[in-house]
Amino acid sequence: MPERLAMDATAGQTAARDAGNQLPLQVSGLAWSAGSKRLIDGIDLRLENGGVTVIMGPNGAGKSLLIRLLHGLVAPEAGEIAWNGQRTGEATRAEQAMVFQKPVLLRRSVAANIDFVLKLKGGADPARRDELLAQAGLADKAHQPARALSGGEQQRLAMVRALACKPQVLFLDEPTASLDPASTQMIEAMIADARMAGVKILMVTHDAGQARRLAHDIVFIHRGRVAEHTAAATFFSKPASTPAQDYLAGKIVL
């Protein structure tokens, strides 16, 4: 199935234009192997600015690996990744942030976790830190050890810590996997706020409901390839590729 590059005008694109950001992602011939197994197999992809792009696909399809490649955490074996024409690397990563499925929190207090990033990105800013803690609903837990927080609280802390970087692109690797509905709702609200602020969001999720609520476009990965890239509404109403149809129908996708 050829990739649908021509996206409908989405709310995300509009938001991006309003925000004045121009960071389209262009990926060509991306490949990565583990030993003899090709996990990313010649991906070509172009993403517009703004909005939420959700990456879906069956387990082992290469979704998490793909966003690590796009963020520059993993070097590609072949192919090109360019953000606004600039090859992915230290410079592009400085304008991006990532939240992992299992939050990696420093062995410090909640506030110190945010202070670490603020200091790294320009200097300590207690007012900004308090603002971020309030956004995460963690103002009253500022001095608690970060690792003593509940799973939902830890993920919210990881979210605001990522936002402390003031990223133009935010990668989310299944940020609500294993969270309860209330925590999921809070994370989704934070994602929506970030999108409204003009942050481009690339998110991996298996939760079709969540993808329907948040996504502007869906990239469906199957066997390390883009099986389908289309507007979310189209994807959920008329998935074009057989793997996507099977996936949405709850069938085993081999």
Residues forming contacts to another protein in the complex (CB under 8 A) are 68, 71, 73, 90, 93-94, 96-98, 100, 104, 106-108, 116-117, 120, 145-148, 165
Query: Nearer to another protein by C-beta: 96 or 230?
Result: 96
Q: How far is the CB of 170 from another protein (least distance, A)?
A: 11
Q: How far is the CB of 63 from another protein (least distance, A)?
A: 16
Cβ-contact 21, 69 below 8 angstroms: no
Q: Which two tokens stand for residue 9?
A: 């005008």
Count of CB atoms within 10 A of residue 22's CB? 12
Cβ-contact 36, 198 below 8 angstroms: no
Query: Nearer to another protein by C-beta: 73 or 124?
Result: 73
Q: How far is the CB of 123 from another protein (least distance, A)?
A: 13
Q: How far apart are the first and last CA of the chain?
A: 16
Q: How far is the CB of 72 from another protein (least distance, A)?
A: 8
Query: Nearer to another protein by C-beta: 170 or 226?
Result: 170
Q: Reduced to 3 states, what is the DSSP secondary structure of residue 89?
A: coil
Q: Which residues contact 173 (CB under 8 A, 6 or more apart)?
A: 64, 67, 98, 99, 100, 101, 203, 204
Q: Which two tokens stand for residue 220?
A: 């469906």
Query: Nearer to another protein by C-beta: 104 or 134?
Result: 104
Query: Nearer to another protein by C-beta: 171 or 247?
Result: 171
Cβ-contact 25, 5 below 8 angstroms: no
Give the C-alpha separation, 59 to 82, whole Å: 26
Cβ-in-10-Å burial (0-12, 13-18, 19+) of 121 comes to: middle
Q: Which two tokens stand for residue 132?
A: 């971020």
Q: How far is the CB of 37 from another protein (least distance, A)?
A: 21
Query: Nearer to another protein by C-beta: 11 or 91?
Result: 91
Please tell me the number of Cα atoms within 13 Å of 224 on its side-chain side: 14
Q: How far is the CB of 84 from another protein (least distance, A)?
A: 18
